[in-house]
């Protein structure tokens, strides 16, 4: 195998006139400096490793080309709303104002989803009304009084392994066991987060901090109910739909809507996951040395399951549309030069 040199390399201003500190490139059609990538193990995250192992091309579009969708899919938008809400409700610094903040936030989201031109959107999106029913019940039952640090940032610092960086949804509880972490999901498929499937993610957390003894996953399951619509009574109003769902959440909270499971450090093979991260890092360097997109081959079984891949439109139509995609902003930091 011969190493391919970047065809845009211009050593006029060493290491290259297009180079940005931290391993990035100023050229519009590039993102990462591939010369830098050949010489520096990439900093990975649990998500990057998962994306890379599901389809190498996802890694290429996301990390090498730095592309992201301008508009997230609806399930991802709902997940982002839930993540922001939980980040605020459980953070110890927002004990007093978190509920007021949440009420403003969810009301604004519902109002912004109103579309007078669409029949079903006159009062806002039903999924957001359902989300409000879920979190109102969550607060009414005092689940939100568990406080700690949300979006807790971690780094692996083991010289034998690649750098891995990430965030834990909730850690450092101040109410009782500080060694217990939480991972929140908003999903209609709680089975997607059983131990075997979520193992890699939890391993990344356990490796990051020796003090974490257990991680609890809590899946918020949106209701199956939809607004009623029958000839006699017409369509159910969103307020009635909200009331109906909220009552059901209050009745079946922990059996149907907030599914929690706790896992302990000893249950996982952490060395196995560390080795996986190292192999991924070594492969990325090797494929980058080969040059170009080709080594980052596709796995089309990952295009539509479990969700439609963000890069489906690029792979399928072989066009990068400016209206669908934008280039990410590099998180520039002072670092090693190529
Ligand atoms: S659309 Fe399919 S082939 Fe393309 S990056 Fe996504 S999973 Fe891979």
Query: What residues are paired with 154 via a beta bridge?
Result: 166
Q: How far is the CA of 299 from the centre of ligand 1 (A)?
A: 6
> Residue 4 has which token pair?
């391919």
- In this predicted model, what pLDDT tens digit does every residue of 309-330 receive, in sequence order? 999 999 999 999 999 999 988 7
Q: Ligand 1: which of 57, 60, 313 to mutate, judged by most atoms within 8 Å of the beta carbon? A: 57
Question: Whose C-alpha lies nearest to ligand 1, atom 7?
Answer: 303
Residues in contact with ligand 1 (CB, 6 Å cut-off):
55, 57-58, 61, 298-300, 302-303, 309, 311-312, 315
334 pLDDT above the threshold of 60: no
Distance CA 180, CA 221 (A): 22
Q: What is the mean pLDDT of residues 139-168?
A: 93
20 pLDDT above the threshold of 90: no
Distance CA 219, CA 188 (A): 9
Q: How far is the CA of 81 from the centre of ligand 1 (A)?
A: 26
Question: Whose C-alpha lies nearest to ligand 1, atom 5?
Answer: 58
User: Which pLDDT value is given to residue 1?
Assistant: 54
Q: What is the location of CATH 3.90.320 in the chain?
A: 74-271
User: Which pLDDT value is given to residue 176?
Assistant: 66
DSSP, collapsed to helix, strand or coil, labels residue 298 as coil
Question: Whose C-alpha lies nearest to ligand 1, atom 4?
Answer: 315
The set of residues, in sequence order, having a beta carbon less than 8 Å from that of 23 and lying 6+ positions away, is 32, 33, 36, 37, 40, 335, 336, 338
Task: DSSP letter for 237, please.
Answer: P
User: Which pLDDT value is given to residue 2?
Assistant: 60
Q: How far is the CA of 203 from the centre of ligand 1 (A)?
A: 26
**Range among 24-33, 53-62, 149-158, 228-237 rated most confident:** 53-62
Q: How confident is the model at residue 335 (pLDDT cuts 50, 70, 90)?
A: very low
Distance CA 124, CA 84 (A): 20
Q: How confident is the model at residue 3 (pLDDT cuts 50, 70, 90)?
A: low
Q: How confident is the model at residue 43 (pLDDT cuts 50, 70, 90)?
A: confident
The set of residues, in sequence order, having a beta carbon less than 8 Å from that of 232 and lying 6+ positions away, is none
Q: Ligand 1: which of 56, 300, 301, 319 to mutate, judged by most atoms within 8 Å of the beta carbon? A: 300
Q: What is the mean pLDDT of residues 105-131?
A: 96
Sign of CA dihedral 149, 89, 73, 219: positive
Taking the whole predicted model, whether its pTM rises above 0.75 is answered as yes
Q: How confident is the model at residue 140 (pLDDT cuts 50, 70, 90)?
A: very high
- Report angle CA 107, 222, 51 to the nearest 5 degrees: 100
Distance CA 186, CA 130 (A): 12
Domain topology for 74-271 = Lambda Exonuclease; Chain A (3.90.320)
> Residue 89 has which token pair?
């409700």
Q: How far is the CA of 53 from the centre of ligand 1 (A)?
A: 12
User: Which pLDDT value is given to residue 332?
Assistant: 59
Question: Whose C-alpha lies nearest to ligand 1, atom 1?
Answer: 312
333 pLDDT above the threshold of 60: no
Q: How far is the CA of 269 from the centre of ligand 1 (A)?
A: 29
Among the listed ranges 169-183, 282-296, 310-324, which one has the minimum average pLDDT value? Answer: 169-183
Q: How far is the CA of 314 from the centre of ligand 1 (A)?
A: 8
User: Which atom from ligand 1 is nearest to the alpha carbon of 55?
Assistant: 8
Q: Ligand 1: which of 67, 293, 298, 316 to mutate, judged by most atoms within 8 Å of the beta carbon? A: 298
User: Which atom from ligand 1 is nearest to the alpha carbon of 310?
Assistant: 6
The phi and psi torsions of 95 (rounded to 5 degrees) equal: -55, -45
The answer to whether the beta carbons of residues 83 and 97 sit under 8 Å apart is no
Distance CA 67, CA 323 (A): 12
The phi and psi torsions of 173 (rounded to 5 degrees) equal: -60, 140
Q: How far is the CA of 3 from the centre of ligand 1 (A)?
A: 26
Q: How far is the CA of 316 from the centre of ligand 1 (A)?
A: 8
User: Which pLDDT value is given to residue 338?
Assistant: 39
């Amino acid at each position: 195998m011969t190493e391919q040199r970047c065809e845009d390399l211009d050593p006029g201003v060493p290491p290259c006139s297009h180079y940005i500190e931290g391993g990035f490139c100023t050229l519009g059609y590039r993102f990462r400096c591939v010369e830098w990538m050949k010489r520096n193990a990439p900093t990975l995250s649990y998500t990057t490793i998962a994306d890379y192992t599901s389809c190498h091309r996802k890694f290429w579009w996301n990390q090498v080309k730095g592309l992201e969708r301008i508009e997230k899919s609806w399930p991802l938008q709902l997940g982002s709303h839930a993540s922001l809400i939980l980040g605020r409700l459980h953070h110890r610094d927002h004990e007093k104002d978190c509920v007021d903040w949440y009420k403003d936030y969810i009301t604004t989201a519902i109002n912004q989803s109103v579309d007078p031109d669409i029949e079903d959107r006159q009062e806002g999106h039903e999924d957001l009304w359902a989300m409000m029913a879920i979190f109102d019940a969550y607060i009414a039952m005092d689940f939100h009084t568990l406080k700690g640090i949300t979006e807790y940032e971690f780094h692996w610092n083991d010289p034998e392994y690649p750098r891995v960086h990430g965030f834990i949804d909730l850690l450092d509880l101040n109410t009782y066991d500080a060694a217990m972490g939480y991972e929140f999901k908003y999903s209609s498929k709680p089975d997607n987060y059983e131990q075997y499937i979520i193992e890699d993610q939890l391993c990344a957390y356990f490796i990051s901090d020796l003090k974490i003894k257990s991680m609890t996953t809590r899946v918020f399951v949106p209701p199956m109910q939809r607004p009623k619509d029958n000839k006699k009574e017409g369509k159910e109003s969103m307020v009635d739909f909200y009331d109906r769902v909220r009552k059901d959440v209050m009745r079946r909270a922990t059996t149907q809507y907030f599914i929690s499971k706790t896992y302990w450090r000893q249950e996982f093979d952490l060395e196995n996951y560390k080795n996986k991260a190292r192999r991924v890092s070594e492969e990325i360097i090797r494929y980058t040395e080969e040059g170009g997109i080709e080594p980052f081959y596709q796995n089309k079984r990952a295009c539509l399951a479990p969700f439609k891949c963000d890069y489906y439109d690029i792979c399928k139509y072989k066009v990068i549309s400016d209206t669908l995609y934008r280039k990410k902003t590099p998180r520039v930091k002072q670092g090693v030069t190529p």
